[in-house]
Amino acid sequence: MNNKNYIIEELKKQIEEIDTQEEMQKVGEVIEVGDGIARVSGLSNIMASEMVRFIVDDDKSDKNYIYGVALNLEEDEIGIMILGDYEKIKEGDQVEATGKILSIPVSEKSIGRVLNPLGLPIDGKEKIKTDKYYPIEKIAPGVIERKSVNQPVQTGIKAIDSMIPIGRGQRELIIGDRQTGKTAIAIDTIINQKGQNMICIYVAIGQKESKVARIVNELKKYGAMEYTTVIVAGASEPASFSFIAPYAGTALAEYFMDQGKDVLIVYDDLSKHAWAYRQISLILRRPPGREAYPGDIFYLHSRLLERSVKLDDAFGGGSITSLPIIETQAGDVSAYIPTNVISITDGQIYLESDLFYKGVRPALNVGLSVSRVGSAAQVKAMKKVAGKLRLDLAQFRELEAFAQFGSDLDEKTKKQIERGKRTIEVLKQNQYAPLPIENQVVILYALTNGYLDDVPINKISQWEEKFYKYLATMHKDILENIKETGEISSVMEESLQKALKEFELV
């Protein structure tokens, strides 16, 4: 009885609280709508990229509003990008300004979730409750707030950690044709961040929903969802979602970075992001330029990737490391978008389909892949073995053409070719099998110091496997020492050599 009265009283109070004294409000009217863009008259005081809402008040749906963002501010009308179901908007609908710049809710609880670019969950779990909002567009930190990279990101991939090292705060592009394992590298890197004090964000832009579901399952399987947020703008959603998804992901990353944490963010992929922006720009009737992209397509990506930084300790010392992905068409890296993004990033990992089909996986082209800043952050032990590795590979590439002459070659050349073949064999690695840094160091040490020269090529992966097991059981101290100090001291080098000799006898 009491309960009933309480409900009624409370409802009455709530109704009274609703402000019936209506103030004047600026309201616009939809002139034209189509393909995710609306042209609206009125709203003369609106800000650029301010959120607006369309009033779609029919009694059937539970939603009163559809949100949008003002992109084009013109003399008599504005162009609005609609974030949602634009088919429900009609000519003559009322549009209100909200006075807020587009922002997304951020929280610790976002970790482990699958979200859409507006920060709403799409994994069927409860809504994320928070009162913190971060704007989607933000100017990147300036010179004073930055620091050069000095800590490594361990991808767990031998070829990358040894020759193309990535530092925290770096932007390393992953570029290649379709089906060359671009996403695989990014996912392996995320899986390897377990226990590395890193929060990961995977942004899927215009991807097939089935692919995203598969990735989320893999991440769960390897325990990576404990520190990962997935942001999805699916292929079935409007282009506006694909357009804002990477910015939304970065806003979430900035929230964690502001707490002094290290964040790894993967944009998969920026080609589709550029397509989405091209579509929006053309419908807004902005003039098309090269490949029909609008004039500010470079700024689109540069302002996004500039937000990946390593902050100075005085500003919290957090970092955002980004791995943007670009898909090329038939290996053409000189197309418009690939050249743009290559010039913005601090290096690229170039994947080739020829190598992929030859069985070299990851299909990394070592000659064309570079990391412009990461070597400053590489661990010393790795630096020591990697220098020799590079040299071996470079010499092998030079001599590769002679390899078919077989027996006609002199002893030294033959040896270099054999070493090269083994180097390539060792750098092969399965998917979902990231390797700890200490194991990488010992295998590369064995390789560059000739301990593998007598092992037949088809037995190398077996040898590798057994060697890790042998070290883990018999010489745990070597691995632990490398892991802790990040160096190979002369004492350790001696015992490693001893262990290798012992292992050869086994």
Partner 1 sequence: MVKRYAQILYDLTKNKSPEEIKKNLKKFVLFLQKNRKLNQIEEIIKKFKKIYNQKNNIIDVQIFSTEKLREQEKNNISNFLKEKYSAKEIDLISKVKPELKGGIKIKINNEDVIDKSIAKQLRKLKDKITN
Of 25-33, 115-123, 187-195, 474-482, the window that binds partner 1 (rule: CB under 8 A) is 25-33
**CB nearer to partner 1: pick between 130 and 302:** 130
Residue pair 171/322 in contact (Cβ under 8 Å)? The answer is yes
Among 1, 24, 139, 505, binds partner 1 (CB under 8 A): 24
* Contact positions with partner 1 (CB under 8 A) in 317-336: none
Residue pair 190/361 in contact (Cβ under 8 Å)? The answer is no
- Tracing tokens 């990535």 back to the chain, one arrives at 166
Shortest distance, CB of residue 244 to partner 1, whole angstroms? Answer: 23
Among 3, 4, 13, 22, binds partner 1 (CB under 8 A): 22
**CB nearer to partner 1: pick between 73 and 370:** 73
Residue pair 434/155 in contact (Cβ under 8 Å)? The answer is yes
Shortest distance, CB of residue 255 to partner 1, whole angstroms? Answer: 23
**Residue 192, token pair as written in the block:** 């390897």
* Contact positions with partner 1 (CB under 8 A) in 90-129: 94
**CB nearer to partner 1: pick between 55 and 457:** 55
Among 75, 411, 454, 484, binds partner 1 (CB under 8 A): 75
Would residue 113 show up in a list of annotated catalytic residues for this protein? no
Shortest distance, CB of residue 295 to partner 1, whole angstroms? Answer: 22
Annotate each residue in 286-315 with x if it binds partner 1 (CB under 8 A) or - if it does not, as one string.
------------------------------
Tell me how far apart the alpha carbons of residues 173 and 182 are, in angstroms, rounded to a whole number.
10
Residue pair 216/121 in contact (Cβ under 8 Å)? The answer is no
Shortest distance, CB of residue 116 to partner 1, whole angstroms? Answer: 19
* Closest to 389 (Cα-Cα) out of 435, 467, 446: 446
Residue pair 37/283 in contact (Cβ under 8 Å)? The answer is yes
Shortest distance, CB of residue 40 to partner 1, whole angstroms? Answer: 11
Compute and round to an integer the Cα radius of gyration of the chain.
Answer: 27
Q: Does 433 bind partner 1 (CB under 8 A)?
A: no
Q: Does 27 bind partner 1 (CB under 8 A)?
A: yes
Q: Does 20 bind partner 1 (CB under 8 A)?
A: yes
Of 14-22, 334-342, 348-356, 388-396, the window that binds partner 1 (rule: CB under 8 A) is 14-22
Q: Long-range contacts of range 326-335, CB-CB < 8 Å, 24 or more positions apart?
A: 326/173, 326/174, 326/175, 326/269, 326/270, 326/271, 327/175, 327/176, 327/177, 327/178, 327/182, 327/269, 327/271, 327/272, 328/175, 328/176, 328/177, 329/177, 330/177, 331/177, 333/175, 335/291
Residues 6+ apart with CB under 8 A from 28: 40, 41, 42, 43, 52, 78, 94, 95, 96, 97
Among 2, 3, 14, 236, binds partner 1 (CB under 8 A): 14
**CB nearer to partner 1: pick between 17 and 454:** 17
- Burial class for 405, CB neighbours closer than 10 Å (0-12, 13-18, 19+): exposed
Annotate each residue in 40-69 with x if it binds partner 1 (CB under 8 A) or - if it does not, as one string.
-xxxx----------x-x----x-x-----
Among 1, 5, 13, 15, binds partner 1 (CB under 8 A): 15
**CB nearer to partner 1: pick between 62 and 454:** 62
380-399 vs 437-448: helix crossing angle, rounded to 10: 50
The widest CA-to-CA distance across the chain, in whole angstroms, is 102
CA end-to-end distance (rounded Å), the chain: 84
Question: One of 286, 303, 372, 390 is an active-site residue; which one?
Answer: 372
**Residue 376, token pair as written in the block:** 């400053």
Residues that bind partner 1 (CB under 8 A): 14-15, 17-20, 22-29, 41-44, 55, 57, 62, 64, 75, 94
Active site residues: 372
